[in-house]
Amino acid sequence: MKRFDLCVIGAGPSGYAAAMRAVDYGKNVLIIERDTIGGAGVTNGALSSKTWWELARNVDLVHKNKKRYNLNSPDVNFQALKEEVDSAVEERKELLFHHLEKLDKLDNGYSVTYVKGNAKLTSPTSIAITKTSGLVENFEADYIILATGSRPRELPQIPVDGKIIFTSDGIGTLENFPKSIVIVGAGVIGCEFATIFSSLHKTKVHLIDKGANILPFEDTDVVHVIEKNMENHGVLIHRNSRMIRMEIIEGEVEYELEYTSGLKEVFRVEKALLSVGRVPNYEGLGLEDIGVELDNRGVIDNDTQTSIANIYAVGDITADIALVNVGELEGRYAVERIFGKPSRKLIYENISTIMFLNPEIAGVGLNQKQAEAKGIDYKMAVVDYACIPRAVSKRNTQGFVKMLVTNDDKMKVLGMRVVGNHASSAIQAVALLISVNAGIEELAECVHPHPSITEGIQECVRLLMGKSTFKPEALTDKLALKVCENGICRNVYAHAVIT
């Protein structure tokens, strides 16, 4: 029976990253994948949905500028768009697989073996792989990393058939633009698909939101921009609503809502997309049989290590934060714990995120809601995109930069949100400051490229330090400088004395 230094179960983002980090240590690695290389992060997740978003944004830009260039509304071909998405997915999968094949053929003191099949642990060091042919192969490994990811959550009262009512995994089954669609769930994934469908200008979108606002974890000013753009694109947001019935009738979806006011309404649409979170994939792995501790959220881990010392768990299977970049970080960190010594502890405070909405939202660290929930007092600066030359040149000044720092002389960065064009390119320097627990002074005098969106961050920092180019007392509708204590914010317009 062949033995490996490490077996990684799952070749999604976290598993692939873990395997490649083990290669750095010169180890013999076995990678097992039951479905497709790249996992949901490529096939039904980040890459595919963001490709849809990019294509939909291009369509929306044509609609927005058709009068300027004397254009008619574009006749968008669904199959052409779908083929482009499929091409992006296949391109990424081929690169990942080709990379593994090349590594396997090299003689560099390590080995990478990729096996497709269903894995089951028969002991803490033994793995049985059932291939599609039914053949079972057995392997041994000194260490095992579980990286089996997650899948969309379904609700027992909703009949998901994969064609009329589907989850995000079922987008690929669509053959044309639906005339109308209801999206159940107003979190990140639900709002991203509401943005995609509405930006294509072919589908009437309904969005069910059980609360007063979509994206309930985000600040009100952030949510307001997104909601406004959704409704301008014809999205019907069902606020403060509870779905009490959904069924397929005559090939369409009929659903009934009850609002907090007690009112009930019935709606009929062509399709329904269920977007109510994800659940970890740990069934069939034999984890209970060998003593790996589980709860209703997935595998219980302590700094990526499970209750069995040589078995680790990373990515969505632990249900910590279901993000590709977090999964990759955890995969690499677990390997460093196994074969080396991590140079720093695994932390999540500086994780950068981006929501592909209209406009995009990038964030790192705490927002106002989170800071107040933790009882943290803070200073806050807000700079509107209208003050940023790059945004002006793009003829789209919708958005803002908002930074939170500690309410003391050190002004250490607590968090930042950027709403608007190029938001994702603007936050990495701030993420670094958070990770090293540093203040903001370095950013104030850093020479940023001009014109760029990052100049808005610099103006935010200068605003906090009392030496901004634009003064908040003069541009009260474009700038804000506040001190927030005990959940109450007050305007502060006093400037520092320059000596």
Residue-averaged pLDDT of the chain: 92
Query: In whole angstroms, what is the distance from residue 36 CA to residue 38 CA?
Result: 6
Question: Rounded CA gap, 244 and 29, in Å?
Answer: 49
pTM, 2 dp: 0.92
Q: CB within 8 A of 193, min separation 6: which ones?
A: 49, 168, 171, 183, 273, 275
Q: What percentage of the chain reaches a pLDDT higher than 90?
A: 75
Domain boundaries, the chain: 3-44+82-152+279-339, 165-276, 352-483
Cα angle 367-368-369, degrees, rounded to a multiple of 5: 95
29: β partners: 6, 112
- Write the pLDDT tens digit of every residue in 286-339: 999 999 999 888 899 999 999 999 999 999 998 767 788 899 999 999 999 999
Count the alpha carbons within 13 Å of 159 in the hemisphere toward its beta carbon: 13
Determine the pLDDT at residue 305.
96
CATH 3.30.390.30 describes domain 352-483:
yes
Fold of the domain spanning 3-44+82-152+279-339: FAD/NAD(P)-binding domain (3.50.50)
CATH superfamily of domain region 165-276? FAD/NAD(P)-binding domain (3.50.50.60)
Residue 495 has pLDDT above 60, yes or no: no
Do the domains 3-44+82-152+279-339 and 165-276 sit in the same CATH topology, yes or no? yes
67-95 pLDDT, tens digit per residue, is 888 888 888 999 999 999 999 999 999 99
CA dist., res. 183 & res. 126, Å (int): 43
* Residues 6 or more apart whose Cβ sits within 8 Å of residue 155: 184, 274, 276
